[in-house]
Chains A and B, each alone.
Chain A
Amino acid sequence: MPSVTMTVNGMERSGTVEGRTLLVDFLREHLGLTGTHIGCDTSQCGACVVHVNGTSVKSCTCLAAQADGAEVTTIEGLANGTELHPMQEAFREHHGLQCGFCTPGMVMSAVDLASRNADPSEHEVREWLEGNLCRCTGYHNIVTAVRAGAKAMGGGS
Chain B
Amino acid sequence: MSANGSGIGASVKRKEDNRFLTGRGRYTDDINLPGQLYGHILRSPVAHANIGGIDTSAAEAAPGVHAVFTGKDMEGVGGIPTGWLIHSKDGSPMVEPAHPALALGKVRYVGDCVAIVVAESREQAKEAANLVEVDYQELPAVASIEAAEAEGAAAVFDEASNNVCYDWEVGDRAATDAAFDEATHVVSIDVVNNRLIPNAIEPRAAIANYDPATGDYTLYTTSQNPHLVRLLLGAFVLGLPEHKLRIVAPDVGGGFGSKIPHYAEEAILTWTAGQLGRPVKWTCERIDAFKSDTHGRDHISTARLALDADGTFLGLHVSTKANLGAYLSTFATCVPTYLYGILFAGPYTTPAVYCEVKSFFTNTVPVDALRGAGRPEATYLLERLVEKAAVELGMDRVEIRRKNFIREFPYQTPVALQYDLGDYDATLDLALEASDWAGFEARRAESAARGKCRGIGISTFIEACGIAPSAVVGSLGARAGLYESGSVRVHPTGSVSVFTGTHSHGQGHETTFAQIVSDMLGVDFDAVDVVHGDSAKIPFGMGTYGSRSLAVGGTAIYLAVEKVIEKGKKIAAHLLEAAVEDIEFENGSFTVAGTDRSKSIGEVALTAYVPHNYPEGLEPGLEETAFYDPLNFTFPAGTHIAEVEVDPETGEVDVVAVTGADDVGRVINPMIVAGQLHGGLAHGIGQALLEECLYQEDGQLQTGSYLDYTMPRAADLPSFSINHNTTLCTHNPLGVKGVGEVGSIGVPPAVINAVIDALRPLGVNDMAMPATSQRVWQAIQQAQG
Q: Mask for A7-36, Cβ within 8 A of B = 1, else 0?
A: 000000000001000000000100001111
Complex contacts, B784 vs chain A, CB 8 Å: none
Complex contacts, B251 vs chain A, CB 8 Å: 99-100
- Taking a contact as CB atoms under 8 Å apart, the answer to whether A141 and B675 are in contact is yes
- Taking a contact as CB atoms under 8 Å apart, the answer to whether B679 and A98 are in contact is yes
With both beta carbons as reference points, the residue of chain B lying nearest to A146 in the complex is identified as B714
Answer whether residue B22 sits at the interface, using C-beta atoms and an 8 A cutoff: yes
CA distance A81 to B17 in the complex (A): 16
- Taking a contact as CB atoms under 8 Å apart, the answer to whether A136 and B715 are in contact is no
Q: Which of B69-77, B151-159, B194-202, B630-638 lies at the interface with chain A?
A: B194-202
Count of CB-CB pairs between chains A and B under 8 Å: 183
- Taking a contact as CB atoms under 8 Å apart, the answer to whether B203 and A39 are in contact is yes
Answer whether residue A92 sits at the interface, using C-beta atoms and an 8 A cutoff: yes
Partner of A34, one of B23, B253, B712: B23
- Taking a contact as CB atoms under 8 Å apart, the answer to whether B254 and A101 are in contact is yes
Answer whether residue B358 sits at the interface, using C-beta atoms and an 8 A cutoff: no
CA distance A35 to B717 in the complex (A): 27
User: A121 → chain B, closest Cβ, in Å?
Assistant: 12
Answer whether residue B443 sits at the interface, using C-beta atoms and an 8 A cutoff: no
Q: Which of B265-273, B446-454, B502-510, B773-781 lies at the interface with chain A?
A: B502-510
- Taking a contact as CB atoms under 8 Å apart, the answer to whether A41 and B671 are in contact is no
CA distance A132 to B29 in the complex (A): 20
With both beta carbons as reference points, the residue of chain A lying nearest to B705 in the complex is identified as A42
Q: Mask for B702-723, Cβ within 8 A of A = 1, else 0?
A: 0001110001111101011000
Answer whether residue B285 sits at the interface, using C-beta atoms and an 8 A cutoff: yes
Complex contacts, A39 vs chain B, CB 8 Å: 201-203, 253, 286
Q: How many residues of A contact B (CB 8 A)?
A: 53
Q: Which of A51-59, A61-69, A123-131 lies at the interface with chain B?
A: A123-131
- Taking a contact as CB atoms under 8 Å apart, the answer to whether B717 and A135 are in contact is no
Partner of A35, one of B23, B201, B681: B23
Complex contacts, B22 vs chain A, CB 8 Å: 35, 75-76, 78-79, 84, 88
Q: How many residues of B contact A (CB 8 A)?
A: 57
CA distance A100 to B251 in the complex (A): 9
Partner of B679, one of A33, A34, A36, A135: A135
- Taking a contact as CB atoms under 8 Å apart, the answer to whether A138 and B201 are in contact is no
CA distance A74 to B23 in the complex (A): 8
**At the interface, is chain A mostly helix, strand, loop or mixed?**
loop
CA distance A102 to B508 in the complex (A): 16
User: B687 → chain A, closest Cβ, in Å?
Assistant: 13
- Taking a contact as CB atoms under 8 Å apart, the answer to whether B714 and A142 are in contact is yes
Answer whether residue A95 sits at the interface, using C-beta atoms and an 8 A cutoff: yes
Partner of A41, one of B20, B25, B285: B285
Q: Mask for B673-707, Cβ within 8 A of A = 1, else 0?
A: 01100111111000000000000000000000111
Answer whether residue A140 sits at the interface, using C-beta atoms and an 8 A cutoff: yes
With both beta carbons as reference points, the residue of chain B lying nearest to A97 in the complex is identified as B20
Contacts A127-B715, A141-B675; is A75 near B23 (CB within 8 Å)? yes
- Please list 16 pairs of residues, one from A and one from B, whose beta carbons are closer than 8 Å in the complex, sorted by A's number: A35-B22, A39-B203, A39-B253, A41-B285, A41-B705, A44-B705, A45-B286, A45-B706, A91-B21, A95-B14, A99-B20, A99-B254, A125-B714, A133-B711, A135-B711, A137-B679
Binding site for B on A (CB under 8 A): 18, 28, 33-42, 44-45, 47, 74-76, 78-79, 84, 88, 91-93, 95, 97-104, 107, 122, 125-127, 129-130, 132-143
Binding site for A on B (CB under 8 A): 13-14, 16-27, 29-30, 123, 199-203, 251-254, 256, 283, 285-287, 505-508, 671-672, 674-675, 678-683, 705-707, 711-715, 717, 719-720, 743
Report the 3 A-B pairs with minimum CB-CB distance, sorted nearest first: A35-B23, A101-B253, A100-B20
